[in-house]
Structure 1
Amino acid sequence: MLLKPINQQVVAIMGASSGIGRLTAFMFAQKGAKVMVSARSEAGLKSLVSEIHLFGGEVDYVVADVSNIEQVKAFIEKTVARYGRLDTWVNAAATGVMGRFEDVTVEEFQRVIDVTLMGQVNGVTAALPYLKQQGGAIICVSSMEGRRSLPLQSAYSTAKHGLEGFLEAVRVELMHDKVPVSVTSILPSVINTPYYNKIRTKLGVKPTGIPPYYQPSVVAEAIIYAAEHPTRDFIAGDVGRVLDVLQRLSPGLIDIILATIGFVGQRTTEPKSEAAPDNLYEPIEGYDKIEGDFGKLTIPTFLDNLDKNPTLKWGFAAAVGAATIFGLLPKDQA
């Protein structure tokens, strides 16, 4: 399956007013793609469009709530009406509630599912008919919580697990029908975006991810890569890869680790009440930016570059395997 170079693509991005979606839109436009962006925050979309126009990028926006299928369809229709086609669909929209499961209402839990899971389903529903016409890419921003759930994030983890199941089913259906549309799940580790500023908290304090963090560029670069190179899934951030391996080897060990660090590790010391403004049902002002408040806790990633270079990746794996075997041989055979 061949995907177009970025500078020949029309890209639609949902959840683009802040964080990963905002930076991804900016990077696509910098590379010459025609971009259409959407989110609930019109102020965030307008400022993003203005920034992209400063360097001559081609972009427009549509205000839409990803949980509303009719609004998502309208967004896709306006993208095709504006640019004539759709080559890549990216969905980075999500929301959450931090707190013990017993403290989260059924309505709050359902809202997280509606946005974080059904929003992805709505996006694929709306975009797929256009992508099937000439081929393209579906890129959904999932999470390592789609592989390993965390305490205090039951609704979000449920949504991301559901997303992984949804994408696996759709991917195989398209493969069976020989439809030239790649389906990619991007699985970020903990990323320094305004997410933890915006979600609802039941902790009595401002929530945080379990450090270390990675910068949003780690995820945006993975999305850009998947838009040109058909990719099944991409774990963004080395800690996520370590977690994935440990979860496969011993889920019970991860249970013990998270029971020890998963509660204190997701709390800051900054007071924040449940009544504080959040983006669960409506957008909130002041967070239409790329980065969050945890820049000092970010670290670089290294293995992402191997995943973007399969030849180097398998060469590295072969070298490690050979070195391991060589080291295990008796000295008289080595």
Structure 2
Amino acid sequence: MAVHLKPINEQVIVITGASSGIGLVTARMAAEQGARVVLAARDRDALGNVCEEIRRHGGTAVHAVADVADEEAMRRVADLAVQSFGGIDTWVNNAGVSIYGRLEEVSMEDHRRLFETNYWGVVIGSRLAAQHLRRSGGALINVGSVVSERAIPLQGAYSATKHAVKAFTDALRMELEADGAPISVTLIKPASIDTGFEEHARNYMDQEPTVPQPVYAPELVAQAILHAAQHPVRDLFVGGGGKGFQWGERYAPRVTDYMMERMLFRGQQYGPRQRDRDSLYEPYNNGHASSGRHGFVRHTSLYTSAELHPWTTAALVAGLGALAFAAYSGRMPGGGRRRQEARRRMRAAGLATADTEGMEIGHNAKPAGEAAHEGHVRFPQ
């Protein structure tokens, strides 16, 4: 069965982890474009503030307090969407948290809790979404990470959860396609993003955690999510830096190991440790789209733009190629004059014996129709 996705302004969109960061920015952007949004997170106050802001700007939003690892709570989120707006068109599994620390030092309790949120939260949300979307069609969008493709040190547990999310998403996509279900399944893989990611992460290190450069604005991820809500696409990287992770893993994994061992221990730490709170078990410091702590933040990505607009990019490349060829062949303004001037100079130097177009230029010039000898140059026509 073919997948047909509605324009954003006709959609009902469920977003988990909507009280901060990528989820918050996606909710705002979707509502601005006319979607009716259903927001889920653990922080009641932050959710209420986001919904109030959206309504104040003319949007439509409802919210439900829920832990994504609680299946009954997430079922109530789905029910709220149906009761409030009549159905679900797109479901975004975005909620997530991290742990900074060496794998041997992270407690088993924290390892398990991380999987409860990052992996089981996606499994629960995806299963609920599929139940609704099988009937009416739509998009299921899971937010993974560049570390879905390539694990990194000091965030090994987080990398493991995102690898699991990728495997689950890929397998679910195949099963739904085999059933002919009218559901698009997309995995979004952001690079380092300017959110409260580090502030929410549990930290086992002696220093404050940070994310490696380059760092991208959360709006880029929101744009990718809303693109996937309207266009069936398998997966999307956000930020060319993230694509580099995949290339390193695919073509030079041991070299990539070596580089990460020397760069990403120091590159994920800065300054003395300043806090002992995090969001692993309870919500903390929500309501913010970005952290403002990353210095230079990239608000554009040529790579992501090319992914979101492949035909436009192909046309642009083809156009630039045509311009380059035209310039080379003398078809650009002034090209003919330059070609004639070149011939004049070569004749003056005794390098050309022919004074008509279509003749080869060389020490032993021949008419253009004859076979050329090595070392001769022919001006393109």
TM bucket (normalised to shorter chain) is over 0.9
Contact 2:28–2:54 (CA under 8 A) maintained in structure 1: yes
SS where residue 114 of structure 2 aligns? helix
Kept in 1, the 8 Å contact 2:43–2:286? The answer is: no
State the alpha-carbon separation in 2 of the partners of residues 23 and 150 from structure 1: 26
Instruction: Give the alignment partner of residue 176 of structure 2, picking from 160, 174, 177.
Output: 174
| Matched residue SS, 1:245 | helix
3-state DSSP of counterpart to 2:188: strand
Preserved contact between residue 213 and residue 294 of structure 1 (Cα < 8 Å):
no
Deviations 1:100-129 (A, max 9, x none): 011101110111111001100010111111
The answer (yes or no) to whether the contact 2:14–2:38 under 8 Å persists in 1 is yes
Looking at structure 1, the residues matched to 28 and 274 of structure 2 have their Cα atoms a distance apart, in angstroms, of 32
Q: What's 2:6 paired with?
A: 4
Q: State the alpha-carbon separation in 2 of the partners of residues 122 and 69 from structure 1.
A: 6
Q: Pick the aligned partner of 1:234 from 233, 236, 246.
A: 236
Report the identity percentage: 36
Provide Cα deviations, 1:211-233, integer angstroms capped at 9, x if missing partner. 12001001001001110011100
One-letter amino acid of the structure 2 residue matched with residue 229 of structure 1: H
Residue type of the alignment partner of 1:287: N
Match of 1:66 in 2: 68
Q: Does 1:293 align with 2:306?
A: no
Alpha-carbon distance in structure 1 between the residues aligned to 2:238 and 2:321? 24
Amino acid across the alignment from 2:77 = F
Aligned residue in 2 for 1:225: 227
In the alignment, does 2:93 pair up with 1:91? yes
Question: Are 2:155 and 1:153 equivalent residues in the alignment?
Answer: yes
| CA shift in 2, pair 1:107/1:55, >3 Å | same
Deviation at 1:204, TM superposition (A): 1.6
Q: Partner of 2:248 in structure 1?
A: 246
Q: Kindly tell me: are residues 254 and 204 of structure 1, through their superposed partners in 2, closer, same or farther at Cα, counting changes over 3 Å?
A: same
C-alpha distance in 2 between matches for 1:19 and 1:6: 20
Partner of 2:146: 144
State the partner residue of 2:329. Answer: none
Deviations 1:145-179 (A, max 9, x none): 00001101111100000010001101011111111
* 1:28 alignment partner in structure 2: 30
- Counterpart secondary structure, 2:61: strand
Gaps of 5+ in 2: 325-373
Change (3 A) 1:317 1:164: farther
Comparing 23-32 with 292-301, which one deviates more in the overlay?
Answer: 292-301
Structure 1: how far apart are the matches of 2:246 and 2:20?
A: 27
Query: 2:273: which partner in 1?
Result: 271
Distance 2:153 2:171 in 1: 27
| Shift, 1:315, TM fit | 4.7
CA apart distance, 1:320: 9.8
| Mapped partners of 1:172, 1:189: distance in 2 | 25
Structure 1 residue 294 displacement after superposition = 2.8
Q: What SS is found at the alignment partner of 2:237?
A: strand
Alpha-carbon distance between aligned partners in 1 of 2:316 and 2:209, rounded to the nearest angstrom: 38
Matches within 5 A, 1:113-132: 113-132=115-134
Tell me which amino acid in the other structure corresponds to 2:154: L
Alignment pair present for 1:282 and 2:282: yes
Name structure 1 gaps, 5 residues minimum.
324-329
Contact 1:206–1:268 at 8 Å: present in 2 too?
A: yes
Q: Deviations over 1:11-30 (max 9, x none)?
A: 11100000000000011100
For residues 96-107 of structure 1, the aligned pairs below 5 Å read: 96-107=98-109
Greater mean alpha carbon deviation, residues 144-153 or residues 263-272: 263-272
Query: Matched residues in 2 for 1:95 and 1:289: separation?
Result: 15
- Structure-2 change in CA distance of 1:320 and 1:119 (3 Å): farther
Structure 2 CA distance, aligned partners of 1:287 and 1:130? 29
Higher relative contact order (CA 8 A, sep 6+): 1
Aligned length in residues: 325
SS of 1:272's equivalent? coil
Deviation of residue 316 (structure 1)? 6.1
Runs of 4+ in 1 over 2 A off after TM superposition: 312-323, 330-334
Question: What's the counterpart of residue 326 of structure 1?
Answer: none
CA contact (8 A) 1:95 1:116 kept: yes
Contact 1:152–1:263 (CA<8 Å) still a contact in 2? yes
Provide TM-score, normalisation by structure 1: 0.93
The answer to whether the 8 Å contact 1:211/1:297 transfers is: no
In 1: Cα distance, 2:294 partner to 2:109 partner? 33
The 1:185/1:56 distance shift into structure 2, 3 A limit, reads same
Cα distance, 1:297 vs structure 2? 2.8
> What does the per-residue CA deviation read over 1:298-334, in whole Å, with 9 as the maximum and x for residues that have no partner?
12311211111121344567789999xxxxxx99799
Quote the residue 1:201 is aligned against: 203
User: Quick one: distance in 2 between partners of 1:136 and 1:87?
Assistant: 5
